[in-house]
Amino acid sequence: MIRALCDEKRILVCVGPGGVGKTTTAAALGALAARRGRRTLICTIDPAPRLADALGVGGLGPDPRPVPAAACRALGIPDDGIERLFAVRLDTERTFARFVESEVTDPEMRRRIFDNTIYRQITTALTGSQEYAATLALYELARDGGFDLIVLDTPPTANALDFLDAPKRLAAAVSSPALKWFARPPGAAGGGRLSLQRLWAGGALVLRRLAKLVGSRFLDDVAAFLVDFQGVLGGFLARASAIDQLMRSADVAFLLVLVPAAAAVDEALYFHGRLREAGVPLGAFIANRVAQAPGLTEGGALAAALRAGSAFADLPDATIARAAAQLEPLARAFAARCASEGRELERLAARAPGTPVTRVPLLDHDVDNLVELRVVGESLISG
């Protein structure tokens, strides 16, 4: 199933809560698709430094770069002189700046926008701004058409749906009637720029109170931003709606990464339902870090296995028996955990029929190198 998604889709989006393995999954999927011959771009967000270095995106850079040939070899990508795997590290601030630069030609106006506190708030601190930037960058990369497949890693979202809603929400925030009120076209005396003077002239008591609360500088910034941003707003709204359309097209598949725990499964089911309501079916669930059941849980069998290991050959039987007795409850507890994870994943599959659940095992250590990444990739197609 994952194989088919890698072969057929143009965009794969890995979503999910914080720390579940979105970046790892996105990188492994990208490597898989490149191995299968597709010219693939991995768009990462904050990859672990070692993984970023391995993929050749350790340094900051807004443009996609080919993953070094040695790394491609380690990932099993055919070494035939054709570059197939690329990576880019998304940068929220740069993405917004590029958009403003594409819409505003006047350098003075650009500078005013970039210096404005409100612009900085909207592009860095507003809920959804990182998600919007990721979709904005994705849209541009998809439009430029240099890749067969783009795999998008996403920022951690409290609710994975935030990601789908981000373009609309941000568009609503910058075009809300309340904010627009400030930016009503200034009268002849306004000289083209809004200032608090106009607000005072309006005699709006509420605004005076507001100015006391938040500072008049802030209100001036809001007004100035909205006047300057009027020119960009049309483009911004049009882009938000184009992104919304792109994210809902059949070329795109969402993959929800989760850990095999009850709360995560509940959340995944909720997301699955909401996506269906929105008409965007989920491509697959990726259950990451699934513990592998211990082969042995019984004391006698554990002792025999220890005795068979050359490292313990010289230990007295009594020592081995004691060690096995201490291992037994741990092995049983671990087996119980694996069984409970298995039940949770079965519940997920039963409640979301038609959406495959792919399992990736919990590895011994972090996936911060190419060998581990390849292991994750192999689990994705076999799990």
Query: By the criterion CB under 6 A, which residues form the site for ligand ATP?
Result: 18-24, 46, 48, 156, 288-289, 360, 362-363, 366-368, 376
Q: How far is CA 125 from the centre of its chain?
A: 17
Nearer to Mg ion, 90 or 211 (CB): 90
Annotate each residue in 6-45 with x if it binds Mg ion (CB under 5 A) or - if it does not, as one string: ----------------xx----------------------
Which residues, other chains included, contact 85 with Cβ-Cβ below 8 Å and sequence gap of 6+?
30, 31, 34, 40, 42, 66, 67, 72, 75, 77
User: Could you give the strand order of the β-sheet that contains 282-290, starting from the edge strand earlier in sequence?
Assistant: 65-66, 85-89, 40-44, 149-153, 11-15, 252-258, 282-290, 357-361
Q: Binds 18, which of Mg ion, ligand ATP, none (CB < 5 to 8 A, cut-off by type)? A: ligand ATP
Nearer to ligand ATP, 20 or 31 (CB): 20
C-alpha R_g of the chain: 26
Query: What's the distance, Cα to Cα, between the start and end of the chain in Å?
Result: 10
CA gap 86, 71 in Å, rounded: 11
Nearer to ligand ATP, 9 or 22 (CB): 22
Q: Binds 231, which of ligand ATP, Mg ion, none (CB < 5 to 8 A, cut-off by type)? A: none
Nearer to ligand ATP, 52 or 72 (CB): 52
The least distance separating Mg ion from the CB of residue 297, rounded to whole angstroms, comes to 35
95 binds Mg ion (CB under 5 A): no
CB 40 within 8 A of CB 147: yes
Nearer to ligand ATP, 223 or 376 (CB): 376
CA gap 142, 146 in Å, rounded: 8
The least distance separating ligand ATP from the CB of residue 196, rounded to whole angstroms, comes to 41
Which residues, other chains included, contact 22 with Cβ-Cβ below 8 Å and sequence gap of 6+?
14, 15, 16, 153, 154, 156, 257
CB 340 within 8 A of CB 347: no
The least distance separating ligand ATP from the CB of residue 261, rounded to whole angstroms, comes to 14
The least distance separating Mg ion from the CB of residue 133, rounded to whole angstroms, comes to 14
User: Which residue of the chain is nearest Mg ion when measured via CB?
Assistant: 23
- Residues in contact with Mg ion, counted by CB under 5 A, come to a total of 2
The least distance separating ligand ATP from the CB of residue 248, rounded to whole angstroms, comes to 24
Nearer to ligand ATP, 128 or 299 (CB): 128
The least distance separating Mg ion from the CB of residue 153, rounded to whole angstroms, comes to 6
Nearer to ligand ATP, 296 or 363 (CB): 363
Nearer to Mg ion, 24 or 116 (CB): 24
- Helices and strands counted in the chain (H then E): 17, 8
Q: Binds 244, which of ligand ATP, Mg ion, none (CB < 5 to 8 A, cut-off by type)? A: none
Q: Of 283, 256, 260, whose CA–CA distance to 270 is shortest? A: 256
Phi-psi region of 59 (alpha: psi -120 to 50; beta: other; left: phi over 0): beta
The least distance separating Mg ion from the CB of residue 299, rounded to whole angstroms, comes to 42
Q: Binds 88, which of Mg ion, ligand ATP, none (CB < 5 to 8 A, cut-off by type)? A: none
Name the residues that contact Mg ion, by CB under 5 A.
Answer: 22-23
